[in-house]
Amino acid sequence: MKIEIITIFPDLFTEVFRFGMIQQAQQKGLLEIEAINLRDFTTDRHRTVDDRPFGGGVGMVMKPEPLFAAVESCMGDNSSPPHVVLLSPQGQLFDQNKAKELSLMTRLILICGRYEGVDQRVADHLVDEEISLGDYVLSGGEFGAAVIVDAVSRLIPGVLGRGDSVLQDSFMDGMLDYPHYTRPAQFRDWKVPESLLSGNHREIERWREEQSLKLTKRRRPDLLHVKENDNESS
């Protein structure tokens, strides 16, 4: 999978993808990430990417021309057509299902807004979808793009080994993950639950399912409703 990130701050990404699973995915040739400097697609001496809003008001708006030029330049390289995403608080909320969906793409372009946001014609005519990281406002799309790259990369087949099965992760089956413990079996006054020490795989499996259900009911009952509705409609 190739992911191109269009940003006015490409240097923000020089270190962030050089660690752990994302670095390994790149070394295995399963993932290629490129940060593209939006200013390289400007035509004026000052490399201007923003302008004042029509209708007045505070703040600046990102101009459409450099953004269209940047995306069209990515599309011009004859590889598979990319899925183009604009990071935006007005977009659809990013969740594990969206991460799964994006992990099936061969090519992804993530556009990071700044200032008051981007000219509406970008959202209307350039991108396939707008994605929001949550109901809060960030100063730019870059950290959201990094979150999307991380969540999507670990779902690309072959990126994680069999020992790191993502299938048991929270949200993969509409539930939260069960609690995990490691040695020592007792730390201070706190003991690891007996079931996990029993060596009985069925009992361990039952305990994990119960814990996962309990935790989901207590903290995220909304997930169970979604799961019930999915089961009814299938």
**Is-catalytic flag, 169?**
yes
Residue 63: CB minimum distance to ligand SAM, A = 13
Question: Which residues does 44 contact at the CB level (< 8 Å), separation at least 6?
Answer: none
Q: Which of 71, 87, 108, 149 binds ligand SAM (CB under 6 A)?
A: 87
Q: Which of 53, 64, 89, 179 is catalytic?
A: 89
Q: Is residue 141 within 8 Å of residue 111, measured between CB atoms?
A: yes
**Is-catalytic flag, 129?**
no
The nearer residue to ligand SAM, 94 or 207, going by C-beta atoms, is: 94
Residues 193-222, interacting with ligand SAM (CB under 6 A): none
Question: Which residues does 111 contact at the CB level (< 8 Å), separation at least 6?
Answer: 6, 67, 71, 84, 85, 86, 87, 118, 122, 126, 127, 141
Phi, psi of 230 (to 5 degrees): -65, -45
**Is-catalytic flag, 221?**
no
Amino acid (one-letter) located at 130: E
Residue 76 Cα distances to 42, 70, 73, angstroms: 17, 10, 5
Q: Which of 65, 101, 116, 150 is catalytic?
A: 116
Residue 81: CB minimum distance to ligand SAM, A = 22
Measured from the Cβ of residue 175, the count of other Cβ atoms closer than 10 Å reads: 20
| 140 near ligand SAM (CB under 6 A) | yes
- Dist CA 72 CA 8 (whole Å): 17
Q: Which of 60, 89, 100, 204 binds ligand SAM (CB under 6 A)?
A: 89
Residue 87: CB minimum distance to ligand SAM, A = 4
Interaction site with ligand SAM (CB under 6 A): 87-90, 112-114, 116-118, 132-134, 136-141, 144
Active site residues: 89, 116, 154, 169
